[in-house]
Amino acid sequence: MIQMTGIDHTTGSVNERSVFAFKNSEMEGSMQFLRERTGADGVVILSTCNRTEIWVSADPGAGVFEALCELKGVDPAEHRSYFTDRERGEAVRHLFSMTSGLESAIVAEDQILTQVGEALACAREYYMTDKVLEVLFRNAVAAAKRVKTEVVFSHADQTAMEAALKMFAEQGYDPAGKTCMVIGNGQFGKLTAEALVRAGANVTVTVREYHSGVVLIPDGCSRILYGEKMDFFPKCDIVVSATTSPNYTLYYDQVVKALPDHPMILIDFAVPRDIEPEIRELDCFTVYDIDDFRTGVDVNDAAWKQAQAILDEATEGYRSWYANREVISHVAHINSMAADDMSFRIRKSIRRLDVGENEKQKLAGDIASSSGKIAQKMLFMLRDELEPEAFARCVEIIENAYGREEAAYGKV
């Protein structure tokens, strides 16, 4: 059974979400721990700046939330109210909707689609998925791509930085010509730098020393070594940190030694935080985090209904696959028995044909294969007309009937 537990921007603050965030280096051990504790066949961890979700394919009552709290070393009672549990169809629909960006803080943004795909790839890399979660996550990505391609959401912000820039514009702040530093050159950092460049800012991106010779930075940006960031810091008007570092990128003690002589905006897009919270106490800084940027999107009814129709279709497709997944192997067995049955019935007629032995074998094989395909087609037509339970019962009856005939007549 599909089960998930999760915390996101609607249920928990940055501080609360930080407790349950995962770094890439933690993924393998964490998934192994969760699979052992829940007895799951498959585990996927989705961990982003806005959410952490644990997905499992397991027996009912697997205790996913309790296992997560044990992994993180926290008391479940203190954090229960921040989490939402979902299972079966509710969980499936949530994943499809979320992957399409319809449940994001920046509505209709694109990054969550990539993040869901990466979560599946990570679980697959460590052999933590099973067929149920594999098909579920692949279908979610496919459905989200359809929504992105076919549905037009008017003037949706694509990244958190674009949402920030919109808010600054409403406040009368223009980043054009301003000196900006983006700490972090991962996907989030690159998107942030690109948004600032489009806004007319002068952008410098930090790169790690051991990557400095090979890392590509966005067009229009300058680069400095990460270790040189505090020398450049006082010259900046805007500093954005968007890394997956387990440690702060800006420490209070460092910042007080490099105070600017002008007001500065600091933006922390990381979960857990990149900017030490005490820096907020310094008067020369205005500090924002990911939760300060919440934008909606003007979605007309037609676009929303179109997206929901796509998700309805995708959800039903997965439901049908899931309901019939155990029956498929029995259908394959019936196909095989139908082919064998046809081979048994036509072998005397084939032998009497005035053709070579190779031609006889090929003809017999083609006829047997066609019989199996016809049986499969008829069964799948039957599946489309019946409820899953009734279809499974029909397959069972047909398979048993073929089995009894084989036992009676010795057909192989």
The whole-number pLDDT of residue 409 equals: 46
pLDDT(205) > 80: yes
The whole-number pLDDT of residue 411 equals: 47
Q: Mean pLDDT for the chain?
A: 90
The whole-number pLDDT of residue 155 equals: 52
| Listed ranges 197-206, 299-308, 372-381; the one with the highest mean pLDDT | 197-206
The whole-number pLDDT of residue 67 equals: 98
Cα angle 205, 211, 215; round to 5: 60
The whole-number pLDDT of residue 348 equals: 85
Instruction: Summarize the confidence of residues 194-203 as an average pLDDT.
Output: 97
pLDDT(316) > 70: yes
Beta bridge partners of 224: 206
Q: Pull the structure tokens for residue 56.
A: 């499992």
For the beta carbon of residue 219, count every other beta carbon within 10 angstroms. Answer: 8
* Three-state SS annotation for 174-197: CCCCCEEEEECCCHHHHHHHHHHH
Which of 52-56, 70-74, 98-102, 408-412 bottoms out in mean pLDDT, i.e. has the lowest? 408-412
pLDDT in tens, 4-21: 999 999 999 999 999 999
The whole-number pLDDT of residue 157 equals: 52
Rounded Cα distance, 396 and 390, in Å: 10
Token pair 């109210």 in the structure block, residue: 81
SS3 200: coil
Instruction: Summarize the confidence of residues 156-173 as an average pLDDT.
Output: 86
Which of 225-229, 300-304, 316-320, 396-400 bottoms out in mean pLDDT, i.e. has the lowest? 300-304
Q: Kindly list the distances between the CA atom of residue 12 and the CA atoms of 99, 143, 188, in Å, as whole numbers in the listed order.
A: 20, 27, 21
Q: Residue 318: which of 149, 144, 140 has the closest Cα?
A: 140
Rounded Cα distance, 267 and 264, in Å: 10
pLDDT in tens, 238-251: 999 999 888 999 99
Instruction: Summarize the confidence of residues 51-60 as an average pLDDT.
Output: 97
What whole-number percentage of the chain has pLDDT above 70?
93
For the beta carbon of residue 411, count every other beta carbon within 10 angstroms. Answer: 14
**Higher pLDDT among residues 412 and 299, named by residue:** 299
Phi first, then psi: give them for residue 46, nearest 5 degrees: -110, 115
- To the question of pTM greater than 0.85 for the whole model, the response is no
- Strands 179-183 and 84-87: what pairing? unpaired
Is the preceding peptide bond at 277 cis, omega within 30 degrees of 0? no
pLDDT(62) > 80: yes
CB-based contact 89:319 (threshold 8 Å): yes
The whole-number pLDDT of residue 55 equals: 98
What whole-number percentage of the chain has pLDDT above 90?
63
pLDDT(389) > 80: no
Instruction: Summarize the confidence of residues 39-55 as an average pLDDT.
Output: 97
Rounded Cα distance, 144 and 8, in Å: 19
Annotation: CATH topology of 2-150: Beta Polymerase; domain 2 (3.30.460)
The whole-number pLDDT of residue 412 equals: 40
Half-sphere exposure of 6 (CA within 13 A, CB side): 25
Annotation: CATH topology of 160-292: Rossmann fold (3.40.50)
pLDDT in tens, 216-227: 889 999 999 999
The whole-number pLDDT of residue 214 equals: 63
The whole-number pLDDT of residue 344 equals: 83
Q: Pull the structure tokens for residue 215.
A: 């890392």
pLDDT in tens, 334-387: 888 888 888 888 888 888 888 898 888 889 888 888 888 888 888 878 877 887
The whole-number pLDDT of residue 306 equals: 93
Q: How confident is the model at residue 253 (pLDDT cuts 50, 70, 90)?
A: very high
The whole-number pLDDT of residue 327 equals: 78
The whole-number pLDDT of residue 213 equals: 53
Q: How confident is the model at residue 192 (pLDDT cuts 50, 70, 90)?
A: very high
Domain limits, the chain: 2-150, 160-292, 328-409
The whole-number pLDDT of residue 283 equals: 95
The whole-number pLDDT of residue 88 equals: 94
Q: How confident is the model at residue 328 (pLDDT cuts 50, 70, 90)?
A: confident
Q: How confident is the model at residue 308 (pLDDT cuts 50, 70, 90)?
A: very high
Instruction: Summarize the confidence of residues 59-85 as an average pLDDT.
Output: 97
- Catalogue the active-site residues: 49
CB-based contact 334:375 (threshold 8 Å): yes
